[in-house]
Structure 1
Amino acid sequence: MSYKDLLLSFKRKSLTNQLVIIFAVIMLVPLLALMYDIFFASQTDRVIFLDKEQRLTALVKSTNLELSIKLDSLGIEPEHISSTLLHNEFTQVVEPYIPSNSGIRFGLYVPLTDKITVLGFLHNYRNLSPEEETLREREIFDNTKSGLVAAEMGNEPLFRISGSLDDQVVEYISPVVVKGKVVAVMWAGERLNPFFYQSSFYRKLLRYFTLGVLALVMIATLRTIKNITSGVDRLKQGLHRMENDIHHLLPEMSGELGQVARAVNRMAVSLTQKEKLEDQLRQSEHLIALGRLVTGVAHELRNPIGIIKTLVELMKQEYSQMTGIEEFTRAIDEQVERQDMVIQELLDFGRPTKVAIKECSINDLIMGVLSFSAAMLRKQKVKVQLQLDNKLPKILADTEKLKQVFVNIIVNAAEAMPAGGLLEITTSQTDEMIIINMSDTGEGISEEEMLKIFDPFYTTKEAGTGLGLSISYQSIKLHGGMIEVDSVPNKGAAFIIKLPIIS
C-alpha cells in the first residue's frame, strides 16, 4: 500500500479513530525508547554480575578444592574435625590469594560452633581494633548467615546479593565437603561500586517515573479525545435535529466547540427571524391583494342588499294587511342585517381606516372590555384572573381598534372553553414594548392551525367568517406592534400582543 493510499485511508476514518491513531504514534516513540533503555540496562547489569560471578566462582572453587584435599589428606573423620583445625587450614589456603584479590572478602563458616573466620577486606581504609574487628565479623555474619545456612542445608553453591541499599555485596557461597559430609561453608564476596547500584536505583526510579508520566498522559489524552468526540457527536446530533427543525438550537458546550455551537445558534436565530419576516411580508402582500378583491366584492354586494332593504320597506307598507307578511319581512330583515354585518367586516378587512391616535392606558382598555363582556363570561362559566402592571406608561393608540382586538381574543377564548375554564390576562413592559398576554385553558390550537390562524376566511367555527383574527392582526400591525400565538393542544392557548411605547 502506497503513502497516498495510507493517507486517504486515514482521512476516511472517523475523528475518534484519527485521534487514537495520532495518539498511538506519539506514544510509541517514548515507549520504544523506554523499552530499549530497560533492555540495554538489563544487559549491562547482567554482564557486570556475570563477570563478578565468574571471578568469585573461580576463586571459591579453587580454594574450596584445595581446602577439601588438605582436610581429606589428614585422614580424620568429618565428625572429628575441630573448628580450630578448619579455621587454621582455611587461613593457610586463602592467605596467598588475598594480596592479588584486593577488594574481595573470604570467609569460612563452621556450623557446629556457629562461628566464622573472615579474611580480606571489601574496603580497608585503616587498621581495626579488636573490638571493631569483632563487631565487623558479627555484622558480616548477620548479613551472610541466611545464605550460609541455605548452602549448608542444600549442599549446593549459590550466588546472591546481600547488604543494604547503599552498600551491596555480591557473594558466591559453596559448602566444604569431606567424605560426602558438609563440615563448613566457604564464601567470597565483592562489594559493588556505589555508583553502579545508585545509578541502577535511580535508573529504575526514572523508569517508573516515566511510566507513571506516560500513564497520566495516556489517561489525560484519552479523556480529552473522549470529550472532543462526545462534543462532536453532540454537535452532529444537534445539527441533524436542526435540519428538521430550525428552531431547535444546539446545546451549550465549553471550549472551541462551544464557540462553534453558539455561532451556529446565532445563525439559526437569524435565519428564524429572517424566515419570520419573510412570512410576515408574504402575508402582508397576500392581505393587500386580497383586501382589494374583498373591497370590490363588498361594494358589489352592498348595492343589491340596499335594494332588497328598500323593497322590504315597500312590502311592509303596501302589503301590511296581508296575513303572514310581517313574519316574512322580519326573516328577510334578519338575513339582510346579517349580510350587511358580513359586508362591513369585509370592508373593514379590505380597506382598514387610519388609526385615530390618542393617549390611552392599556389597563383601562382591558378593564373596559371586561366590563361589557362580564355577562357573556359568566354565562360561559369563565373565570378571569388579572395580573396588570400598574406602572405601565400610557401609549398613543386607536382605542376602538384595540378594544375590537381584545374583544375578538376574549370571545374566542370563551368559545374555546364550552365547559368553563380560566382566562388569565397579564400586562408587562420592556424598554420599548408593552406586552399583553391573554391565555386560556381551553381546547388549544394544533400546530397546523397556528400557521393559518391569522389568514383571512380561515375558521373552525360553523358560523364564523374567519375575519376576526385577521382584522385583529391588521389592527396591531397598524400600531407598529405584533401579535403571536402559543398553544399546546388540550392545554389551552395564549395570545401575546406587543405594542410599541411611543413618546
Structure 2
Amino acid sequence: MFVIIIVVAAPIAGMIYSALFAPGIDSMLIEEKQQKLIQIGQRMDESIDDETAAAIKKTVMTRSPSDIDSLQLQLHDRMLKLSYQYRGVDIGYSVPTIEQTFSLLPPRWPYDRKLENGIAEAINSKGPYSQYFMDHMGGLLLHVRPVVRQNDIIALAWAREMIPPQYAQSRNVRRTIFVITMLGLLGGIIGTIIIIRNMVNSANIIKNGLVGIQKDFTYRLPSVSGEMGEIAQAINSMAEALEEKAKLEEQLQRSERLAALGQLVAGIAHEMRNPMAIVKATVQLMQKQYKDSSEMQQYLDVIKEQVDRQDKIVKELLDFSRPSKSLWEDISLVELLKSVITFTRPYMDQYHIELSEKYQIDLPLIIADGERLKQVFVNIIINAVQSMPKGGQLMISVYSDEQNVYASFADTGSGIADEDIENIFNPFYTTKYSGTGLGLAISHNIIAMHGGTIAVTRSKDGGSIFTVSIPIRRDDDAASNIDNR
C-alpha cells in the first residue's frame, strides 16, 4: 500500500510543483527580458545626440525625401551597433509627426499593430510604456520610450522581442496535465457526491410535490430521471385524475347555483314586469292627455326612459333564467360573423375602431342556433369597443382544428384585471358603472348549450382576447336538453 501511495503521489506532487512554481519561474524570465528591453530603450535614447536631434527636427520641418534618407542613415548606424549586442531584439525609432518608422527589419513584421498601439500609449502618457502578451504564435515583449528634448517628444525609441511558440505551448501543456490529473482524482469523489445528491433531491422533489398537490390539484411534479421519475409520473397521473374530478364537482356546483339563481331571478323579474307595464301604460296615456304641456312632456320622457331601462333589465333577467327555444341548423361561422359586423360597423366607426378580419379558408360548418350566437358575438364586440373609448384596434379571427371551430376577438383596450377574469362570467358581476353583469353570463350559458367554451386572456399589449370554441358536431345530449327547456 505504501509503495502504491509513493508511485501515485510522486508524479502528482511533481505536477503540482510544476503547476504552482513553474509560472513563477516563467514570470522571472519574462521580467528579466523586460528589464533588458528597458535598458535598450534607455541606450537608444542616450544615443540621440544634439546633431541627430537637430536632424530629426529639421526633417519634421521640411519633410523632404532627402532629409528623411539622411536621418535614416544616422539612425541606422546607432541601431546597428545596438543590434550586435542584443541579438534577437528588434529595435527602431518612430517619428509620428512625419509618420516614419526606422527599423533594421522590413515592414509588416508580426505584431506591428501592437507597436502602433504602444507608440500611441507612450505619446499619451508622455512616458515609457511596456507591454507583454501571449497568443497562439507565442507572444511579444514591447518597450516604447519617448525621446524628449527641450520638453518636446521628437521621436520614440522602441525595442521588441518575440517569444517563441514553444514557450506558450509548454505552459499550456503543464496546465492541461495538471487539470486532467486533478479532475481524475476528484472525479470519483464528485461522482459519488452527485449520485447521493440526486437521490436526495429526487426524494425531496417527490415529497414537496405531494405537499403541493395536496394544496392544489393543478400542481405537477417536474420530470425526474431514473426510477424516481416513474414514481413522479405516477403521482402526476393521480393528480390529473383528482383535478378532473374537482373540475366536475365545481361544474356541478355551479350548475346547481345557477339553476337556483335562475328560479329566483325568474320570480323577481315576473313580479317586476307587471307593475312596470302598468307604469309604462300610464305614462303613454298621460303623454296623450298632456301633449300640449312641454314641461309635463319633459317629465314624462324621463319616466318613460327609466321604465324602458328597467324593462330591458327585466328582459335580460328572463333571458338568463329561461332561454328561448333554440333553432338548430347548419351554419357557417364566418358568414354569421360577417353579418354581425355589418350591423355593428357603425357603432365601431363611432368610436374610431380599426377592424381587422382573418378567416381560415374552407372552414367546416357547425350545427348551432345562429341567433343565439349572434347575441354572444354582439355582446363581445360591444364590450371590446367600450374598452377603447378613445379608439383602438379589434382583430377578429376564425380558425379550426379537427374538433372545434374558434372565433377570437383581440382588442387593444385597457384589459381585464386578473382578479376580474376569474369572476367575469358570473351573473351580476360587472366592472362597468352602468352594467348589469348579465351579458357575459348569458353568453357563457349560450356557448355551454352548444357544447363549447368561452374564455378570456390578457394580450401582450395589455388588451383582452375573448376566444369562443364550438364543436364541429353538436353534442346530442346537450341538444336534447336545450330542446326540452
Deviation at 1:38, TM superposition (A): 7.5
Q: 2:334 aligns with which of 336, 358, 363?
A: 363
> Aligned partners of 1:398, 1:238: CA distance in 2, in Å?
45
Q: 1:386 to 1:332 in 2, by over 3 A?
A: same
The answer to whether residue 451 in structure 2 is matched with residue 480 in structure 1 is yes
Please list the CA deviations of residues 352-390 of structure 1 after superposition, one character each: whole Å capped at 9, or x if unmatched.
Answer: 122111110111112221222222223333333333222
Deviation at 1:339, TM superposition (A): 1.3
Q: 1:274 to 1:392 in 2, by over 3 A?
A: farther
Summarize the alignment of residues 17-416 of structure 1 with structure 2, pairs less than 5 Å apart.
218-236=189-207, 245-416=216-387
> Aligned partners of 2:216, 2:353: CA distance in 1, in Å?
36
Q: Secondary structure at the match of 1:418?
A: coil
Residue ranges of structure 1 left out of the alignment (5+ in a row): 1-33, 40-211
Question: Normalized against structure 2, the TM-score is what?
Answer: 0.55
> Aligned partners of 1:305, 1:423: CA distance in 2, in Å?
38
> Aligned partners of 1:466, 1:489: CA distance in 2, in Å?
26
Q: 2:413 aligns with which of 435, 442, 449?
A: 442
> Aligned partners of 1:384, 1:269: CA distance in 2, in Å?
41
> Aligned partners of 1:240, 1:385: CA distance in 2, in Å?
47
> Aligned partners of 1:216, 1:321: CA distance in 2, in Å?
105
> Aligned partners of 1:437, 1:346: CA distance in 2, in Å?
27
Q: Secondary structure at the match of 2:193?
A: helix
Match of 1:151 in 2: none
Please list the CA deviations of residues 289-326 of structure 1 after superposition, one character each: whole Å capped at 9, or x if unmatched.
Answer: 11111111111111111111221222123333345222
Q: Tell me if the contact between 2:408 and 2:467 (Cα under 8 Å) persists in the aligned partners.
A: yes
Q: Tell me if the contact between 1:392 and 1:429 (Cα under 8 Å) persists in the aligned partners.
A: yes
Q: 1:457 to 1:430 in 2, by over 3 A?
A: same
The answer to whether residue 454 in structure 2 is matched with residue 452 in structure 1 is no
Q: 1:413 to 1:242 in 2, by over 3 A?
A: farther
Identity %: 41
Q: Secondary structure at the match of 1:460?
A: coil
Q: 1:321 to 1:213 in 2, by over 3 A?
A: closer
Q: Tell me if the contact between 2:459 and 2:465 (Cα under 8 Å) persists in the aligned partners.
A: no
> Aligned partners of 1:244, 1:354: CA distance in 2, in Å?
43
Q: Tell me if the contact between 2:290 and 2:297 (Cα under 8 Å) persists in the aligned partners.
A: no
> Aligned partners of 2:306, 2:191: CA distance in 1, in Å?
83
Q: Secondary structure at the match of 2:360?
A: coil
Deviation at 1:442, TM superposition (A): 2.4
Q: 1:271 to 1:224 in 2, by over 3 A?
A: same
Q: Tell me if the contact between 1:443 and 1:489 (Cα under 8 Å) persists in the aligned partners.
A: no
Q: 1:355 to 1:247 in 2, by over 3 A?
A: same
My pick for the range that moved more, 281-290 or 465-474, is 281-290
**Greater CA radius of gyration, 1 or 2?**
1
Q: 1:355 to 1:383 in 2, by over 3 A?
A: same
> Aligned partners of 1:385, 1:267: CA distance in 2, in Å?
44
Q: Tell me if the contact between 1:443 and 1:490 (Cα under 8 Å) persists in the aligned partners.
A: no
Question: Normalized against structure 1, the TM-score is what?
Answer: 0.54
Residue ranges of structure 2 left out of the alignment (5+ in a row): 6-182, 475-485
> Aligned partners of 1:348, 1:288: CA distance in 2, in Å?
13
Q: Tell me if the contact between 1:381 and 1:420 (Cα under 8 Å) persists in the aligned partners.
A: yes
Match of 1:492 in 2: 463
Deviation at 1:283, TM superposition (A): 1.6
Q: Secondary structure at the match of 1:436?
A: strand
Deviation at 1:431, TM superposition (A): 2.4
Q: 1:329 to 1:473 in 2, by over 3 A?
A: same
> Aligned partners of 1:405, 1:447: CA distance in 2, in Å?
22
**What letter matches 1:343 in structure 2?**
V
Match of 1:138 in 2: none
The answer to whether residue 441 in structure 2 is matched with residue 470 in structure 1 is yes
The answer to whether residue 399 in structure 2 is matched with residue 432 in structure 1 is no
**What letter matches 2:283 in structure 1?**
V
Please list the CA deviations of residues 443-469 of structure 1 after superposition, one character each: whole Å capped at 9, or x if unmatched.
Answer: 222232122111111111111111000
Q: 1:365 to 1:431 in 2, by over 3 A?
A: same
Q: Tell me if the contact between 1:380 and 1:418 (Cα under 8 Å) persists in the aligned partners.
A: yes
**What letter matches 1:363 in structure 2?**
V
**What letter matches 2:360 in structure 1?**
D
